[in-house]
Amino acid sequence: MDNVIRPDFQRAAKARGGERKASCTAPAAQYVKTYGEVGHHAVSLVRDRSSPQGDVYKVMIDTPGGQIGPVGVEPATADGMFDVDLVGVAVVRTLELMAQRSGDFDVA
User: Residues 25-60, buried b or exposed e (16+ Cβ, 10 A)?
Assistant: eeeebeebeebeebeebbbbbbbbeebeeeebbbbb
Q: Which domain holds residue 58?
A: 27-101
pLDDT at 27: 61
pLDDT band at 74 (very low <50, low <70, confident <90, very high): very high
> Are 16 and 50 in contact, with CB atoms under 8 Å apart?
no
Asked if residue 6 belongs to a domain, the reply is no
Q: Is the pLDDT of residue 6 over 50?
A: no
The model's pTM? 0.66
- Domain count within the chain: 1
Asked if residue 54 belongs to a domain, the reply is yes
Asked if residue 65 belongs to a domain, the reply is yes
Q: Is the pLDDT of residue 42 over 50?
A: yes
Alpha-carbon distance of 94 to 7, in angstroms, equals 23
Rg of the Cα atoms in the chain: 15
Asked if residue 108 belongs to a domain, the reply is no
Asked if residue 97 belongs to a domain, the reply is yes
pLDDT band at 103 (very low <50, low <70, confident <90, very high): low
Asked if residue 16 belongs to a domain, the reply is no
